[in-house]
Structure 1
Amino acid sequence: MSVKSAVRVMEILELLSEHSEGLTVKEISVALSFPQSSTFNLVQTLCTRNYLIQTGTKQYKLGPKLIHIGSNAMEGLDVQSEGELHLRELMEDVQETVFMAVLSEGELVYVSKMEYNRSIRTGAKIGSRKPLYCTGLGKAFLAFLPEAKRDSLIEEQELVKITENTITSKADLIEQLKQFSAQGYSIDDEENEEGLYCLAAPVFNANNEVAAAISIAGPKYRMLPNKEAAAGKLLAVSETISQKLGYIKS
């Protein structure tokens, strides 16, 4: 059984994580349909423990205590810590930005980003969330999850057109995922950000489950000529990280 005040605290933190500029008590209460008086009390309590901070304009933002907690949580992700060294080597080898993401509540969450100094800048950052259907990392999860789980996640997705290349047909997406499963890696061809081309591969754990996905992302004009070589390096690294997590390839 959930405790109402605890649930409300979590909803406040989640809301503010999406508003880096901060929100007032009234804005928080309206957005979450909470009484303003109880919202004020919860916000004040969070401020006293440094989970939130108040700006000069009476807006509230996430506080420094959460940085410490978030860092500890990141360190507890075995897949992220095991992959760090290999991701850095991959980044230096391909000279493009590399990512690692995990699956959370039907979306991908970035847990690692290593940006090569010449690479294209992307809107993705550690901790941010992205849809599964239009990203290389997301499609790596979908392509290698059990079919029932994959179909369930796709059913929950609203395939919104983000760029001219975004797939908005669930039938077309499933056909594409079958191709990705056969070749071992997925592709995002300017489907989430114009100009960005991405190759992504799954990372498996000891239970043969997809624990994470890793990717190489860069400008399309530079990625395409080196696609096959980059894909080979990506798959080699994903296999290495998987083995460190206890995965045994059948």
Structure 2
Amino acid sequence: MSTGLDPVPLSGRQPRAVRSALAVLEEVVAAGPGVTAKEISAALKLPQATTYRLLNLLVGEEYLVRLPDLRGFALGRRAARLALPVAPPPSTAARAVVDHLRGMVRWGVHLASFSTGQVALVDPDPDHPPSDGLVLARYPQVSALGKLLLAEQPDWRALVRDLRRFTEHTVTTGAELSAQLDAVAGSGLARQCGELRPDRGCLAVAVRGPGDGALVAGLALSGPAHRVAEPNDDLVELLREHADRLAPLLA
């Protein structure tokens, strides 16, 4: 007979349910914001009905939240300690460098940090709003900033879990993405032309620590896809110059 302190005795099935719920949380952390129930079910080899029940429970307890635009899930308020650390905002001096570049070009200028292991926009251009930051973090292969990050990895597959197609120009094969990332590593310049939105593209260069050359951030220009396809050399040089100025301010 149960007591007032333990109204429902622990059954043999409950520990398995607890382990499954924790595994779902771990998969959301590993996969990043926007992971879907179907993807979680496949990764954990759980029945879809079980996965949906666990997700509903975790959402109800605020460990997860639904992301309607992405049709997926992200960590909620009560799981904040499980999330990757938030990238610190850039200093006033760093913002001044970014603002200076904005005053010289008609393109959007965005600064991203890689300190969390994902693309984290820390100074997006207010006059040229970028794509959803959650999408950029979840699918780094469809942004120039993301390609900078992937080109640094021993194996980009550790950060890319889904080669999802967004437009007819989206790279959806591992061989093609590997070739692109090899080019980024060789030139130090990343670009995407209509891979996330058919009418938009972006160029990005790395901001590296002045001591060890570690990748700390990325500086990007966003504009019409056809302009990105064949960028002006002077524009690229301007982008590199400002990235160099940012290096001692962000390291």
Q: Fold-level match, TM-score > 0.5?
A: yes
Partner residue in 2 for 1:168? 172
Q: State how far apart, in whole Å, the 2-side matches of 1:9 and 1:164 are.
A: 33
2:215 aligned partner, one-letter code = V
Change (3 A) 1:132 1:104: farther
Structure number with greater Rg is 2
Once residues 209 and 220 of structure 1 are traced to their aligned partners in structure 2, the CA distance between those partners, rounded to angstroms, is 29
Please show how residues 179-194 of structure 1 align to structure 2 within 5 Å. Answer: 179-194=183-198
Give the corresponding residue for 2:9: none
Of the three residues 73, 90, 100, the one matched with 2:101 is 90
Note if contact 1:134-1:167 (Cα within 8 Å) is conserved in structure 2: yes
Look up the equivalent residue of 1:180 and give its one-letter code: V
Q: Structure 1: how far apart are the matches of 2:217 and 2:166? A: 24
Give the CA deviation at 1:162.
Answer: 1.5
Paired position in structure 1 for 2:11: none
Q: Structure 1 residues 163 and 228, CA, compared in 2 at 3 Å: closer, same or farther?
A: same
Deviations 1:6-61 (A, max 9, x none): 9999999xxxx87xxxxxxxxxxxx9x79x9xx99999998xxxxx9xxxxxxxxx
Taking a change above 3 Å as real, the CA distance of residues 7 and 87 of structure 1, as seen in their structure-2 partners, is farther
In structure 1, C-alpha distance between the alignment counterparts of 2:167 and 2:200, rounded to whole Å: 11
CA distance in 2, matches of 1:96, 1:235: 15
Between the aligned partners of 2:157 and 2:56, the Cα distance in structure 1 is 38
Q: Does 1:203 align with 2:192?
A: no
Unaligned runs of 5+ in 2: 1-18, 35-47, 66-76, 79-84
Task: Tell me the distance in 2 between the aligned counterparts of 1:199 and 1:229.
Answer: 13
How far apart, CA to CA, are the structure 2 residues paired with 1:40 and 1:131?
25
Equivalent residue for 2:156, pick from 144, 153, 156: 153
Structure 1: tracts of 5 or more residues without a match: 19-30, 47-51, 53-64, 67-72
Asked whether the 8 Å contact 1:106–1:153 carries over to 2, the reply is no
Give the aligned CA root-mean-square deviation in angstroms: 4.6
Inter-partner Cα distance in structure 1 for 2:58 and 2:172: 41
Correspondence for 1:59: none
Distance 2:218 2:204 in 1: 7
- Using the size of structure 2 for normalisation, the TM-score is 0.60
Instruction: Say if 1:196 and 1:218, in contact at 8 Å, map to a contact too.
Output: yes
Aligned to 1:215: 220
Paired-residue identity, %: 19
Give the equivalent residue in structure 2 for 1:141.
149
Does the residue aligned with 1:215 lie in a helix, a strand or coil? Answer: strand
CA distance in 2, matches of 1:44, 1:165: 39
What per-residue deviation string (whole Å, max 9, x for no partner) do you get for residues 171-196 of structure 1? Answer: 22222222222222101111111111
Say if 1:44 and 1:130 are closer, same or farther in 2 by CA, change over 3 A. Answer: closer
Partner of 1:114: helix, strand, or coil?
coil
Is the 8 Å Cα contact of residues 139 and 162 (structure 2) preserved in structure 1?
Answer: no
The residue type paired with residue 110 of structure 2 is F
Pick closer, same or farther for the CA change 1:134–1:41 going to 2, 3 Å: closer
Deviation of residue 102 (structure 1)?
3.0
Q: Cα deviation per residue 1:102-137 (whole Å; 9 max; x = unaligned)?
A: 347764232220133xx5x54x24566341212111
1:194 maps to amino acid: P
TM-score of the superposed pair, with normalisation by structure 1: 0.60
Task: From 108, 126, 129, give the equivalent of 2:119.
Answer: 108
